[in-house]
Amino acid sequence: MATVLDVCIRGAGIVGRSLALLLAAERLRVGLVDLQPAPGSDVRAYALNAASRQLLESVRAWPDEAHATPVLGMEVHGDEDGTVHFHAGQSPALAWIVDVPALEQRLAEALRFQPSVTTLTAPAEAALTIVCEGRASSTRADFGVEYDIRPYGQHAVAARLRSERPHGHVARQWFANGEVLALLPLGGQTAGEGAHDVALVWSVQQERSERLLHCDAQEFATLVSAASQQALGSLQLASERAAWPLQLARADRWTGPGWALAGDAAHTVHPLAGQGLNLGLADARTLAQVLHEREYWRGVGDPKLLRRYERARKADVLSTGAVTDGLQQLFAQDHAAWTAFRNWGMRGFEAASPLKSWVVRQAAGRL
């Protein structure tokens, strides 16, 4: 006899798996539709904030120390002399850089010990269907949802590199010529001051991304080293390269009778602030909380109940999207007046300690 499901989650990425574990803890019977391809080499790394770490620890899916590197400082460089520095201070870290394969493995392990979650190869009937299929969701349109997409005309190029100088647990970012380059520290919690491995995320025009993907390893490393102003000395490519298109996108509706969207199926933002997965995990946390706090007489698919989740999350997503989009647009302007203005603004921000502290708390998602 088939299991009667309370919730069917379509999409077994990080958000979908995390949500399945959260809902199973609420004693809900969950079906998780897993159509992911066989795992291969994955060079991506995510910057996760304190709230995301707390969520993943609560479902026993936080990666071990070797795969979660604390960020103790951050440097943001403009295209002239504007520079902003952030420091963790008394906090354990500004964020943690987490290897995607390690995180996915921990989630898979946690699910194997959760009997309330059934892995499915096709959608099944349930009181509530949650779409976590990512930006390319094939299910979203079935619910009459319009997904407004604004392409940036850029691709994010990702790779792993080894640096001549140690990264010192500092994340570094450069804005120049409309591009955004980030070098994120790797090596784990106990890597110490001698860690030399970094993750690259470089947002460039689509045509340039083709060159970066196909040039030889030495040329690629030289280009990254030059664009990062030799901050870590010479670099060596230590992985394959990957790229994907960047866009700002939002669904016009996130919920309806018996269904809801979460993660990239509902929204995507520019990666320059590293908030994409943090937003998706916040969706999962809020939706699980709304279902936990529902009146005893409401079913999990009640549209009024699901609207509480949508209202609770939209403001955060819209504000983060507006900030990241505004920064991307600001640094895309190549007129001299814009260059002077934005670097003047960075210098002023660097001197405003209370404002910097507030920004750090917001970005860290501290509860």
Specify the 3-state DSSP secondary structure of 239: coil
- In a domain, residue 284? The reply is yes
Q: Bridge-partner residues for 185, per DSSP?
A: 198
Mean pLDDT of the region 159-183: 91
- Residue position matching structure tokens 């010479």: 234
Q: What is the CATH number of the domain that holds 294?
A: 3.50.50.60
Whether pLDDT at 338 is above 50: no
- In a domain, residue 62? The reply is yes
- In a domain, residue 172? The reply is no
Whether pLDDT at 122 is above 70: yes
Q: Around Cβ 294, how many Cβ atoms within 10 Å?
A: 17
**For the segment 181-237, what is each residue's pLDDT rounded down to a tens digit?**
999 999 987 665 668 999 999 999 989 999 999 999 999 999 999 999 999 999 999
**For the segment 185-197, what is each residue's pLDDT rounded down to a tens digit?**
999 876 656 689 9
- In a domain, residue 208? The reply is no
- Residue position matching structure tokens 């501290």: 366
Whether pLDDT at 287 is above 70: yes
- In a domain, residue 164? The reply is no
Average pLDDT, rounded, for the chain: 86
Q: What angle do CA 348, 352, 357 make, to 5 degrees?
A: 135
Confidence of residue 340 (pLDDT cuts 50, 70, 90): low
Handedness of CA 353, 354, 356, 361 (dihedral sign): positive
**230-250: buried (b, 16+ CB within 10 Å) or exposed (e) per residue?**
ebbeebebbbebebeebbbbb
Greatest mean pLDDT among 33-42, 65-74, 146-155, 279-288 lies in 279-288
Residue 254 makes CB contacts below 8 A (sequence gap 6+) with 260, 261, 262, 266, 309, 310, 313, 314
Q: Around Cβ 143, how many Cβ atoms within 10 Å?
A: 18
Residues 164 and 14: their CA atoms lie apart, in Å, by: 33
For residue 302, give the nearest of 113, 127, 110 by alpha carbon.
Answer: 127
- In a domain, residue 181? The reply is no
**For the segment 265-276, what is each residue's pLDDT rounded down to a tens digit?**
999 988 876 788
DSSP strand pairing (259-261 vs 126-131): parallel
Domain that holds residue 17: 5-150+246-364
* Percent above pLDDT 90 for the chain: 66
CA-based radius of gyration for the chain: 21
Whether pLDDT at 361 is above 90: no
What's the pTM? Answer: 0.89
For residue 280, give the nearest of 96, 14, 11, 47 by alpha carbon.
Answer: 14
The total of structural domains in the chain comes to 1
**For the segment 73-87, what is each residue's pLDDT rounded down to a tens digit?**
888 887 666 677 777
* Percent above pLDDT 70 for the chain: 83
- In a domain, residue 161? The reply is no
Cβ pair 9, 32 in contact under 8 A:
yes
- In a domain, residue 139? The reply is yes
Residues 155 and 210: their CA atoms lie apart, in Å, by: 9
Confidence of residue 1 (pLDDT cuts 50, 70, 90): very low
Confidence of residue 336 (pLDDT cuts 50, 70, 90): low
